Amino acid sequence: MQTTGRDLSLYFHIPFCKKKCPYCHFYNIYYKTDLEKKYLKAIKIHLNDLKNILQKSNIVSIYFGGGTPSLLSVNTIEDILNIVNPKSNIEITIEINPEDFSKEKIKALKALNVNRASVGVQSFDDNLLKILQRRHSAKKAKEVILDIYKCGIENISIDLMYDVIGQDILSFQKTLDEVNLLDITHISLYNLTFEKGTLFYKNRKILEKEVPKETLSLELLNLATSSFEKLGFKRYEISAFAKKGFESFHNLGYWQARDFLGFGPSAFSYFGEKRFQNVCNLQKYIEALDSKKTVVDFEEKLKYPHNINELLAIHLRIVNGIDIIEFEKKNGSIPTKTLKKLKNSEFIAFDKNHIRLNEKGLLFYDTLASELI
């Protein structure tokens, strides 16, 4: 379908889960086979509507995220990939829940050139998994990772969480020790947050008392970063660590302002310097596509200098930082005021034409970002 035009990444939001986790703020609904069929029909229309763009682009990565993409049948993923018809060597990632996994499915996905798996582990401490109301055990997560590897997908990322209710150094150390025993290439490390609309948010007054306080939180983060580095995982983005050569190409695109198109309800896109989001409801998404209306529910195109400031803030998440000359060549000139702010910032290391977060900046990125945007 595609030529070798401008680089483009594709994101498919699979909005199905078997159970809603109490901390999750992503759009998802209970999985049903007939909904999967309707979803696929809608995605096909959406892909067809954007056929011209896809044909003129060089598709460089595909990501199936969710929700729970591993709930989908292989046929659904095959149908989508057949339409996109990507080159055989691009990064294609699928998120996998240890609870909803089968070896046969992974083997079939591997045959479709899916070459990267991202497993929602969260913790290797069964007590914390219970608190997070996950349906898998630590043992199950480890077995799934090994099975994925045996099925031939050797580029495996895991999600881990810190600042979990009741988490202490001992528990986290146990989780980090397990990492050493796994054949994985990438780790995404997140802290638990209480997002509006979640069950944890509703009960936050009680739960927040049990969340690690600032000093412990910092200790947990430092423990994780030093353990990962010892094991050969380099921190290449604020919350991402990878073995050499296994940085997520798809995710790097988000931070480097590569164009990407999002399919499925609630999926974001960034295209032609415009950011937009699909409607956060499967039924509405389907109805819009059926009646040839737009699926976009929100869009914004920032004007200069806000666009540059936002790009800078996002790009600074990458630990290597920014080459100012290259950045300006690609995106336009950095406002003098912003450059001055960055030069004087306590969160930034400035070296000739290069800026990057310093130690403090890695810890307080959100403060810096809010100063910039």
Chain contacts with ligand SF4 (rule: CB under 6 A): 17, 20-21, 24, 26, 28, 66-68, 97, 120
Provide, rounded to whole angstroms, the least separation between the CB of residue 123 and ligand SF4.
13
Would you list the DSSP string of 90-138?
Answer: SEEEEEE-TTS--HHHHHHHHHTT--EEEEEEE-S-HHHHHHTT-S--H
Other beta carbons within 10 angstroms of residue 318's beta carbon come to 19
Residues in the chain: 373
Q: Which is nearer to ligand SF4, 164 or 312 (CB)?
A: 164
Provide, rounded to whole angstroms, the least separation between the CB of residue 69 and ligand SF4.
10
Query: In one letter, which amino acid is 17?
Result: C
Structure tokens at 201: 């948010």
Q: Which is nearer to ligand SF4, 23 or 236 (CB)?
A: 23
Q: Which is nearer to ligand SF4, 67 or 265 (CB)?
A: 67
Q: Which is nearer to ligand SF4, 20 or 204 (CB)?
A: 20
Provide, rounded to whole angstroms, the least separation between the CB of residue 163 and ligand SF4.
16
Query: In one letter, which amino acid is 127?
Result: N
Q: Whole-angstrom Cα distance, residue 42 to residue 318?
A: 35
Q: Whole-angstrom Cα distance, residue 126 to residue 53?
A: 46
- Angle among Cα 59, 62, 64 to the nearest 5 degrees reads 160
Q: Return the SS3 of 253.
A: helix
Q: Which is nearer to ligand SF4, 197 or 245 (CB)?
A: 197
Provide, rounded to whole angstroms, the least separation between the CB of residue 25 and ligand SF4.
8
Strand 29-30 and strand 16-17: pairing? Answer: parallel
Provide, rounded to whole angstroms, the least separation between the CB of residue 268 and ligand SF4.
15
Q: Which is nearer to ligand SF4, 132 or 148 (CB)?
A: 132
Other beta carbons within 10 angstroms of residue 139's beta carbon come to 11
Q: Determine contact, residues 83/40, Cβ cutoff 8 Å.
A: no
Provide, rounded to whole angstroms, the least separation between the CB of residue 134 and ligand SF4.
7
Angle between helix 33-49 and 282-290 (nearest 10):
50
Q: Whole-angstrom Cα distance, residue 306 to residue 308?
A: 5
Q: Which is nearer to ligand SF4, 68 or 269 (CB)?
A: 68
Q: Which is nearer to ligand SF4, 136 or 250 (CB)?
A: 136
Q: Which is nearer to ligand SF4, 140 or 354 (CB)?
A: 140
| Closest to 187 (Cα-Cα) out of 161, 218, 152 | 161
Provide, rounded to whole angstroms, the least separation between the CB of residue 237 and ligand SF4.
20
- Angle among Cα 165, 169, 174 to the nearest 5 degrees reads 95
Provide, rounded to whole angstroms, the least separation between the CB of residue 85 and ligand SF4.
28
Beta bridge partners of residue 122, listed in sequence order: 160
Query: In one letter, which amino acid is 336?
Result: T
Provide, rounded to whole angstroms, the least separation between the CB of residue 342 and ligand SF4.
35
Structure tokens at 70: 């591993």
Provide, rounded to whole angstroms, the least separation between the CB of residue 338 and ligand SF4.
36
How far is CA 92 from its chain centroid? 13
Strand 16-17 and strand 260-263: pairing? Answer: unpaired
Q: Which is nearer to ligand SF4, 267 or 311 (CB)?
A: 267
